Structure 1
Amino acid sequence: METIIRKLQQIKSRALAEYSNFHVGAILVTQDGEEISGFNIESSSYSLTICAERVALFKALSEGHRKFKAIYIMSDDDAPCPPCGACRQVLFDYAPDIEVIMVGASGDVRRAPLRDLLPYAFNKDRLIR
């Protein structure tokens, strides 16, 4: 876990968060153990900001990855920071069985299956075809 924490700290330090000053880093782990990183990127038009978790997921998807086992998330907060609702939904769309590992800057760690963080999730089965 110490290695992951060091990597998360490094990734988080590259976040482009000049408006909120809230830095987040994420590492998405594929089924075969590859690690794909992401950090939050803010826009002066706040609604166009993208979270670290979605950056990592979209990067992985664009590189052809489709199976994931875990995502590690770290922010500047001492307490572990859970993914926002939008990230939970997008992660559920592509990795509903993923484990979410939230790491506080203090080193405190919390783990939860994504399904526990997004009960009664909206999914493609609800779409009219």
Structure 2
Amino acid sequence: MTAKKEWLETAETALEKAYVPYSKFPVGACLVTDTGEMYQGVNIENASYGLTNCAERTAFFKAVSEGNRNFQHLVIIGNTPEPISPCGACRQVMAEFCEPTMPVTLVGKNGVTMETTVGELLPYAFTEKDF
């Protein structure tokens, strides 16, 4: 199995772990460190919707909380007809921890995919360079 196939499968298995009692809209993510370690993320909802956390941010927060800050790839998967698109908050978190050239694979229902980068998802990102 190739590394990328493993990343895709890791993101896909996350869909089953998502806590989505309100939206019924599971999202899974697989964040890969520069050393190949994988962090699975799921969206976690809350009755107070503003407290909900997206799959992408869950994966980043898990990785960063364990001391990992160097990433090589992110896979995001959802049950959308087209490749799923990350929200603005997740794009900003990606910009905080990733180079603009880092690849991101977006996956929808039936395996339809789109390859992009952090910089393409959030051009003109607000970064430490803006201080």
TM-score, normalized by length of structure 1? 0.92
Q: State the match for 1:125 in structure 2.
A: 129
Q: 1:25 aligns with which of 28, 33, 36?
A: 28
Count of aligned residue pairs for this structure pair: 127
| Higher helix proportion (structure 1 or 2) | 2
Q: State the match for 2:111 in structure 1.
A: 107
Letter in 1 for 2:83: P
Q: 1:5 & 1:125 partners in 2: Cα distance?
A: 32
Q: 2:52 & 2:98 partners in 1: Cα distance?
A: 22
- Measured against aligned partners, the alpha-carbon deviations of 1:8-51 in whole angstroms (never above 9, x if no partner) come to 22111110011111100000000011111010000100011000
Q: 1:38 aligns with which of 41, 50, 75?
A: 41
Give the deviation of 1:93 after TM superposition. 0.7
What fraction of aligned residue pairs are identical, expressed as a percent?
42
**CA-atom RMSD in angstroms:** 1.3
Q: 2:64 & 2:98 partners in 1: Cα distance?
A: 11
Q: 1:4 & 1:69 partners in 2: Cα distance?
A: 11
Q: 1:61 & 1:3 partners in 2: Cα distance?
A: 21
Give the deviation of 1:126 after TM superposition. 2.1
- Measured against aligned partners, the alpha-carbon deviations of 1:45-64 in whole angstroms (never above 9, x if no partner) come to 00110000000000000111
Stretches of structure 1 lacking an aligned partner (at least 5 in a row): none
**How do 1:30-69 residues align onto structure 2 when only pairs under 5 Å count?**
30-69=33-72
Give the deviation of 1:2 after TM superposition. 4.4
**How do 1:81-92 residues align onto structure 2 when only pairs under 5 Å count?**
81-92=84-95
Q: Secondary structure in 2 aligned to 1:69? A: strand
Stretches of structure 2 lacking an aligned partner (at least 5 in a row): none
TM-score, normalized by length of structure 2? 0.90
